[in-house]
Homo-oligomer: A and B are copies of this chain.
């Protein structure tokens, strides 16, 4: 943190609110700070996952990896990864077993978990908003809509699965700006993977997202699709590791790292 960067107290306060309060999506919380997807896997699966992320960097840009069993991250030294995400998902054999605001118990039962924190497109939303591009899900108070596409990711070891994307409707005249602004932050998904033509991605109905909530798409707007950090959850469902903890889609881990850190 250097002079001119936002006060990390905002990020800490947001994490404490997530730790204490009822769960809600984190879009627009602690604006200016990087948000992350999370996936915790048994140590035996960590190599496969890190390789899966390396082979699929658009949906799985890894920002930090913990030591086995640790619930601390360099991205927010005072945070507790067991409690500071508003809503967790616990997975058994690739099946969602539970959603919970506190994952401490699951961590106790699985003491060798390696946790991966993965970039999130919420990170560049503040840049898009500063450019005057409305984020419809924020304006409508909803979770961002996310879709399981028909595109396979490149497999790694025992892990395979399809690409998940988030969708934001953008006025046709602002699509180029949305592309160039998000492209500046490749570590948090970067430029869109697809603009328009959802059927080409295998998406049948934009009103029925696989994760999150539908949002309104107005006349003259184009659906723009960014690679999404829920992609690891699709890999869990397809590949069935014995155990995992993730964030619930849209309910992210808020770090102390300014969004601007990722600009190239």
Contacts and interface: CB of A to CB of B under 8 A. Distances in A.
Interface of A: 46-47, 50-51, 54-55, 62, 65, 74, 154, 183-184, 186-187, 190-191, 264
Contact of A50 (B47, B183, B264): B47
Between A46, A47, A74, A184, the greatest number of chain B beta carbons within 10 A of the residue's beta carbon is seen for A47
A264 B190 contact: yes
Given A50-B50, A51-B65, A74-B154, 15 more contacts: A46-B47, A47-B47, A47-B50, A50-B51, A50-B54, A54-B62, A54-B65, A55-B65, A184-B264, A186-B186, A186-B187, A186-B264, A190-B264, A191-B264, A264-B264
Given A54-B62, A54-B65, A62-B54, A264 B183 contact: yes
A55 B116 CA distance: 12
A139 B47 CA distance: 43
Contacts of A47: 46-47, 50
Nearest to A67: B157
